[in-house]
Amino acid sequence: MEFETKAVHMGEEPDLERGSGDVVVPIHLSSTFARKKVNEPTQGYEYSRTGNPTREALEKRLAALEDASFGLAFASGMAAESTLAITLLHTGDHVLAFDDLYGGTRRLFNRILDPHFKVEVTYADARDLRRTKEAIRSNTRLIWLESPTNPLMKICDIAAIAEIAREANIPVVVDNTFLSPYFQKPLRLGAKVVVHSSTKYLNGHSDSVGGAVMLSDEDLYRQLKFNQNAMGAILSPFDSFLVLRGIKTLAVRMREHERNALRLAGYLEGHPKVRKVNYPGLKSHPQHALANRQATGHGGMLSFEIKGGLEEAKRFLESVRLFALAESLGGVESLIEHPALMTHASVPKEIREQGGLTDSLIRVSVGIEHIDDLIADFDRAFQKIG
């Protein structure tokens, strides 16, 4: 079955035998499920934290999108990441992570895992395979990647790193939030687990916070499922319905996001007030060829450096009208933000600047509005900064 078909149908087949034939899965709000016999839960359901039919419909669809055997839906991307970390790591373990990650992931590693569980994390430039290999230690139990990274849009070679990790028997987790499974399938490239903030492209309408984990290793799935139930980080039935609905248009939306992002990136690249544009779909992106090889598209996220500094960036951000000045990404509406002051404010300034996350960097989540309106909004904002 092709991606678009799975996105519409998987997990939501009408039940003509036992149900009423709903074409859309019902939102099962019940927190508990009645049974006839003490030790026989009805159709396997007992309590909604443990299992809920609406959430399970979504989990089936999530798995199908990443060509995985199993999917799990969490209360947020960070809930998914925390559950994964607690499941895969123990005191004294070491994590090797890409040095340009979502700020909240770094916060989880540095402020929770390290101080509370004595899990040490090394950040390496995963674009450099030799350095990545050298950073592996005898106690490395996890390699954590994003590609493209948030917000600098760096690309790492997932298959090559997965191969290095396989030799050392270390699981690779890829945060696939930015490209979504429509454009990139990390499990096919050798990753063990894929994680998403479903808040972003999977849901796609900026009206639900959620997370997802997809994988094919059955033992690890069972541990994660046990831990998710034990720790409670589940997605609500209503949010499960919203994400199920959002995913139906994922392919259509991603194509439009990419089309607009490519046009906007080209416009910015030619603009005299822009120093640099980070978008893997541009030929000028240092890993354009790798991006073309490991993904089927480049998505709707880009970042750029405005000429000047913090003042110019702030003035630009406060001058746009159509783009909402807001954190998050992946919705149909265009968003714009300042990573250093907003999404990545929890990353210490010297670490931000070492990696190129400067005060003049602006991140854009390009929506699916008409591109002419988006460019006109930027034109107006550039004129305002003088």
Ligand X SMILES: Cc1ncc(COP(=O)(O)O)c(C=O)c1O
Question: Footprint of ligand X on this chain (CB under 6 A)?
Answer: 76-78, 102, 104, 146, 150, 175, 177, 197, 199, 209, 211, 328
200 part of the active site: yes
Question: CA–CA separation, 296 vs 195, rounded Å?
Answer: 19
At closest approach, how far in Å is the CB of 46 from ligand X? 27
Q: Classify 219 as helix, strand or coil.
A: helix
Phi then psi for residue 74, to 5 deg, are: -115, 165
103/281 with CB nearer ligand X: 103
Token pair for residue 47? 């309590």
Q: Is the Cβ–Cβ distance between 301 and 364 less than 8 Å?
A: yes
User: Any idea which residue has 């090394």 for tokens?
Assistant: 122
Structural tokens at position 170 = 């270390």
Residue closer to ligand X by CB (options 78, 153) is 78
CB closer to ligand X out of 106 and 127: 106
> Least Å distance between CB 198 and ligand X?
7
Residue of 272, 251, 214, 264 lying closest to 367 (CA atoms)? 264
Q: Least distance from C-beta 81 to ligand X, angstroms?
A: 7
User: Is 273 annotated in the active site?
Assistant: no
Q: Are 155 and 280 contacting, i.e. CB atoms less than 8 angstroms apart?
A: yes
Could you tell me if 276 and 268 are in contact, meaning their C-beta atoms sit under 8 angstroms apart? no
Select which of 61, 200, 253, 363 is catalytic. 200
Catalytic residue among 93, 99, 100, 175: 175
Q: How far is the CB of 151 from ligand X (least distance, A)?
A: 9
Give me the residue whose beta carbon is nearest to ligand X: 77
Q: Which is nearer to ligand X, 180 or 381 (CB)?
A: 180
Could you confirm whether 55 is annotated as catalytic? no
| Distance (Å) of CA 98 to CA 22, 237, 321 | 44, 34, 34
Least CB distance from residue 55 to ligand X, whole Å?
Answer: 16
78 versus 264: smaller Cβ distance to ligand X: 78
Between CA 276 and CA 273 the distance in angstroms is 10
- Choose the catalytic residue: 102, 123, 201, 279: 102
Residue 47 designated active-site:
no
Cα separation values, 58 from 7, 73, 275, Å: 10, 7, 42
Q: Tell which residue, 124, 186, 180, 178, has the closest CA to residue 150.
A: 178
> Which residues form the catalytic set?
49, 102, 175, 200
